[in-house]
Every structure is written in structure tokens, then in C-alpha cells.
Amino acid sequence: MISPSEMRKRITETPPLVHNMTNVVVTNFTANGLYALGAKPVMANAIEEVAEMAGHADALSLNIGTLTSEQIEAMLTAGKAANKAGTPVIFDPVGVGATSFRDQTAKRLLAELDVDVIRGNEGEIARLAGIAVTVRGVDSEEPVENAEEAAIQTARTFSALTVMTGETDIVTDGETIVYINNGHALQSSVTGTGCLLSSVIGAFAARGEQLFDAACAAVSYYGCAAEKAAADKTIGPGTFQVRFLDELALISDDDLSRLCDISERKQVQQS
């Protein structure tokens, strides 16, 4: 499996362009996170230009955190252009389950587009898997039982690599599974840490990298940067956000080797 350090090196050498169609809360943090990593962000939402922009990009990140009917049409247009160009499409189903509009939109995007990666929290992934979870805002009310099975189910149903983030992060294609134990509790006090990760997976998956490995490396890299940031000059959630951007840029290969905690890839139990 390719290491986080090696992936970062490739990104810095030939920065991938990530086209983000994301929510209005996290645009700035997403752009700054991608720049910090050495990638290049672009944002474009107008239906007049998204196909052209997505066609030139190396990855397309779709996020329904503050969706509108215009944005959905534009996402479909951009997604189809990305599919045609063979560009990886990452889907972040923010708050799916909170409203029927989000449920329907997620279904429609997943039905009409070839989504390569789905990245969500436990409540969101469980909802996509068809499990009855109560979502208020962007989180499930209760811890999700059998979250791992939900991730596997989601991966199978939508033929998409599924990244479910939580205390332990899971990456699964429905047949094999990897557990990643990186990250820090302060991430849940900063808005957009999940959203930015989805775009970072896009940056790692760009340029024809093997998708499963790229996603694991991205998730671990991201979590290591969070651990490093939390350990040094961070006081609370404000300074953490800032220091995290620093470490996305600066974390050393030595720190990555030392902190990186990715499990073996193993077969999932047939259910």
C-alpha cells in the first residue's frame, strides 16, 4: 500500500486541481486545506460553467451541506462531465436523513452519477444504507449500531468506495475493509473537517491513483496532521483549526511514519 508520505510527494510535484461544489459554510476552509496540502482548489457552481470546469479538473467533490435546487442541477451536469472524462467523483452526503429533500437529492445524485467515493459520518452512511436512523442537523441522535455493516452495505449498493469517519475510520469497497486509527477529538469541534476530508480524498485519488489505497492514505494523512496540530501550540478549537492547516502543509515524513495507523486490508464477512 502506498504511504501517506509518498502520496503527498506526488501531489506537491504535480498539484491536482480539485473542483469543489460544496456548502457555503466550508468553502474557505476547504480551499485553504487543499492549498495547504499542495493541491489546487477551484469552486464553481453556475450551471453555465460547471461541465467545463469539472472536465478540466482532476477530481470533483460534491457536497450537499447547503444544497439548493439550482445546485443539484449543476451537480448533475458537473458529475456527468466528470464521469465522461473519467475524473473521480467524491460525494459527501452532509445531513442526509435530516430532511426528505436531502434524502431525495442523495438518492438522485447516486442514481444518475457514477460516484467513486462516498465519505460520511456514521449517521449519514447508515441512512444511505437504508437503516432507520434519526438525524437532527448533521448528526445522528444516537450512536449507530452495526455501523460497519452499514458502510459495507452502502459500498455494495452504490458500487462506491465508502469512507465512514468516526472514532475509528473505515474504508471499504464492500468486499474488503481497512480500519484507520488516526485523528483527534478536536476535529469534531471544527466545522468542515469532514467536508474538507472528502475533498482531500479527491486530491489523493486524482491522476489515476489506485482508489482504495489513495483513500486510506488520505484519511490517515489527514488524521496524523490533526494529531500533530493538537499536540503543539493548540489551545482550543480556534487555534486547532489554524494549526491543523499548518500541519496539512508541514507534517514531516517522520511524523507521518510514526503516527500512521492503517490496518491490514481484510475480507469482509459475507452477510
- Tell me the pairing of strands 135-136 and 169-172: unpaired
Between CA 129 and CA 106 the distance in angstroms is 12
| Cross-strand partners of 120 | 164
User: Taking CB under 8 A as the rule, does residue 133 contact a second copy?
Assistant: no
User: Taking CB under 8 A as the rule, does residue 137 contact a second copy?
Assistant: yes
Q: Is 240 helix (H, G, I), strand (E, B) or coil?
A: helix
User: Taking CB under 8 A as the rule, does residue 93 contact a second copy?
Assistant: no
Closest approach of a second copy to the CB of residue 265, in Å: 32
The residue count of the chain comes to 271
Strand runs labelled E in 27-101: 40-43, 59-63, 89-92
CA diameter of the chain: 47
Binding segment (CB under 8 A) for a second copy, from list 17-25, 114-122, 148-156, 256-264: 17-25
User: Taking CB under 8 A as the rule, does residue 28 contact a second copy?
Assistant: yes
What kind and span of H or E run contains 252? none
- The number of angstroms, rounded, from the C-alpha of 36 to the middle of its chain's C-alpha atoms is 16
Of residues 94-113, those binding a second copy (CB under 8 A): 95, 98-102
Of residues 182-211, those binding a second copy (CB under 8 A): 188-192
Between CA 230 and CA 245 the distance in angstroms is 11
Closest approach of a second copy to the CB of residue 113, in Å: 20
For a second copy, the closer of residues 132 and 235 by Cβ is: 235
Applying CB under 8 A, which residues contact a second copy? 17, 19, 23-29, 31-32, 35-36, 40-46, 48-49, 52-53, 56-57, 65-70, 95, 98-102, 136-139, 188-192, 233, 235-239, 241-247, 249-250
**Binding-site annotation: residue ranges for ATP:** 119, 165
